[in-house]
Chain A
Amino acid sequence: MTASGSLLAATILLPLAIAALCLSSRFRARAPSLLVFAPLPALLAALLVPDGTSALFPPPLRLSLMLDRPGAILLGGAALLWSAAGAFAASYMRSDPARAGFAVWWLLTLAGSLGLFIVRDIANFYLLFTLASLAAYGLIVHEQTARAHRAGTVYVVLALLAEAFLLLAFVMLAAGHPDPNPAIRDVVATLPAAPLRDAIVTLLVLGFALKLGLVPLHVWLPLAHPAAPMPASAVLSGVVVKAGAIGLIRFLPFEAGLPFWGTLLIGAGFVTAYYAAIVGVTQTRAKTILAYSTVSQMGLLAVLLGTGLENADPGATSLVAYYAVHHTLVKGALFLAVGVLAATGGQRLRPMLLLTAVLALSLGGMPLTSGALAKLASKPMLGYGLVSHAMALAGAGSTMLMLHFTLIVARDVRDNPASIAPAGQLVPWLAVAAASLILPWSLYPAISGEPLASLIQPDALWKLLWPMLLGTLALLLVRRFERLQGAIPEGDIVVLAEAGTPAIARLAAFVERADAHLRRWPVAGLLLLALAILIGGALMLQA
């Protein structure tokens, strides 16, 4: 086993090992302070391991790992956020009696979500995907409020549904393959020619779109992400949703292209981006607005993926990863900011609010921020047609939403007593914020193939500024209508789905009555005889 290989393996195994050590009660008390170290192998792997390294583990583990370009970008950003959020959590949850349990769920989610970026074979992809999905439930319901339980229930139902879609899709993909556990790349290469291609792609897109939160499958996200404790919200919204993105990157055939599905993804992505921005601007809780912003941004990721799929452009995957890592860091920093600001007041509030505003506007594409870089990097691929304009309009939507967020946060913290958040929370937040501002610059030339100087051309600046101005105008317009605030409940259309509950209850009651009837002795006795006759008939029919 090479050093690179062991580093990749440690990415998954170290968090799991720490989680396993939590079985010992003495160790458990110290677990929260170790959260910051758990993602370090991943961070080192992203920095040190060369692209294209793979590692195979013999049965019974049957695990094979591989680090490629998009995976490395996502892994690095995600590990950074996990680590910082882990440090934040150790301070934030200091007096929580249930923090040891929280740490275990945290580590399990971490292992799953980071492992997804480097796993190479299909069975372990499913395993890690499941691990990340189900362990996140523990983070969501941690606060044990009625809200959290409702969010957890909706989350679990939809997560299990996504699992079912994906399991069927994976089984259909692997069914014709000689190796029972093939590499993802091998099966995806055969996908365009597969007889069941459209069924498989439908299932894949449904499963991953559920995770990504594309409208109308997004209903769990605005409920679940705000329900978790602050650091958990940051990683859920920053990293765990990216499981859907990495899934689409890995499982869609970008080399061969699927024009129809590409167009569909673009359409769904734009609907999601606009819809979430509009619903989000009616929300009154900062964390919920951030969750809607995540939905909206995931819509834009879907647009990029769709464009790559439509044009059969494998380079799109790196771009998607670049955009995703921008969102990971910024969204993570924003959630942490909500936590930090809540504990801050007085003189020190102003610079912090300013930094928060910059981070927020980065999502709208403010010049010189990572958002601007991500948008400019994707311009060439999107072309200059309708899609490009629609993308700019989405930037306006994001600006509107994030300005709304900034105003809400500023309102929430206006009356805080003079104090400052503990260093254990402040430092991680500043670290993520700094990373979000710096990291994308260092990656830009490699991703876009253009020098950094191209970023400060007046032409490029104008392309970024007019959507922001439009977004600001839109927000001013929206704020004229007081009644809009809080007009749409969190999770929007989930409320419609929940209205269908009585029908399900009626069905279940019917099943219960049927069961009571079938379990009466004479009925069961007659059924037994009828079955004997039926089986006899079936056997004779062919004999």
Chain B
Amino acid sequence: MDKKMITIYIDDKPYQVAAGQTVMQAADKVGFRIPRLCYHPKLSIEGACRVCIVELEGARNFIASCAYPVADGMKIRTNTPELRSARRDIVELILDNHPMDCHTCERDSNCELQRLAYSMGIRKRHFEGEMKHYEKDVSGVAVIRDPNKCILCGRCVRMCSEIQKTSVLGYAHRGFKTVVMPAYNMPFRDSSCTACGQCINVCPTAAFLEKDYTQELFKKLNDKSILKVAQCAPSVRAAIGEAFNIEPGRTMEKQLAAAIRRLGFDYVFDTQFSADLTIMEEANEFLERLQGKGKLPMITSCSSAWMKCLEQYHPDLIDHISTCKSPMSMQSAMVKTYFADKIKRDPKEILSVAFMCCTAKKYEAARPELEVNGMRATDLVITTRELAWMIKSAGIDFLAIKGEEFDHPLGLSSGAGTIFGTTGGVMEAAIRTAYELATGETLLDIEIGAVRGLQGIKEGKVVMDGKEIRVAVAHGLGNAAELLDIARKDPNRYHFIEIMGCPGGCVGGGGQPYANSNSIPLDEECLMKRAEALYTLDRNKTIRRSHENPDIQRLYKEFLGRPGSPASHKLLHTHYKQHFPVGIIPESLKQQKPAEPANK
């Protein structure tokens, strides 16, 4: 270890810690868990909440341990009666301006503020001051905002500007009247919000939530006149167990199929099937582009938050985007055409529901250009969190349920479809198939380590038919912007780029279960475990390449013809266009230049 080691005293005992870190970080490593609220290891240090104060010998006031650097010989106390009392007062003051409605709150039992209040020993409210009252913003189809629940920790603002670099959220006004909101207090629907949902993930309370469609779904599940068809994204199975207090990293694939069926669905399909389908189309498109039909590098289009981000901030790259729809939309298109034909059912009587790890998919499902034959392809999108709640609410014992298989003909998938759920997965899956399509040989070493892992930008190379194919992968919209800048400066550097809107890819999606009491939102270890769970599923499958999936082969034989056929173009491909968020770009500038105002 290069770092100099120093001695600090915590609660009168000496500890050897590395220099150059904060008191909180050092204390964490030697087994102290100082209470905290606004702190998040992936975000900059704000020191807004003051919950993490500790006593430092010789200092006049308590210091915020999240922001204070360690120094040799410093003496820290973490749990004196004065500290406990001061911390409790701080949390009580936050609570004073917070609605007293825990028992009817969406985040009841999953709220960091609630946990903190409990651990501080707050058993009654001492302060009764003025409270804020704001309108809820429920205008968006994916994310809703309730400023009354906001405690101004600023995690969402930092997430939005530092990790996603979309800077949709900011503080407005001052003092008691401070509110977190999009620019100009625009409704979310009109703002440049990409609906990635990371604000929901990092929010300690219920100030941000996904728009709830569960009641509507429960009602429709009881309607005998419609056929209820579900699909379930890869990373839902990698994370839903956490909502039932299972350690991250255990997949619940078969239980999930069984539980969804018990909710009242007639058919339970797998989005991984259409992930395979996406690969067939995308690999084909990529090879066509390699032969000069279209621009390189080709950029993936599976992530809905990324698509909105692209249309707003990177319109110059629209020609580089794969025209393939996302797996969810492909699946829904197949449900309402191929499958409806097969079972001889009017597609208008089919309810297509997608269980996704994603909030932006709610936005995607509502995009008009994804309609199929004049119908909405995906009728409802339900997040992993909502699904877990529905399972509990319907009285299904998820952990005791006997596993079942997904239904045919849209439920069988290869390992390539499984790994879609993690960053680098789409790239890896595409290479597995593209290699074989291009060379006629089977790619033997199919686990492509270079595109795996949580590094922000990953680069890899494959030699295909004597030609070196250079690929790059980014996850999180901030990393994406950085990667695209590299690609803009050096247009020949890459052939193929995968971008996922959320940290870690879909496993870190905005609709995944909240962090458990002993974890933090978007904990890297947790994301790694979810990803590893998907890689394990892949390893245990006999079919690991999309084109070897017999149901995919049948779909092409019976219905689509071949990848890139007119039928696939009609149903599986779409287009993107520059999109101006209302109120962001002045009218006079619209014709003149593509602008990237908020994506600094």
Q: Do A and B interact with each other, yes or no?
A: no
Q: Chain B interface (Cβ within 8 Å of chain A)?
A: none
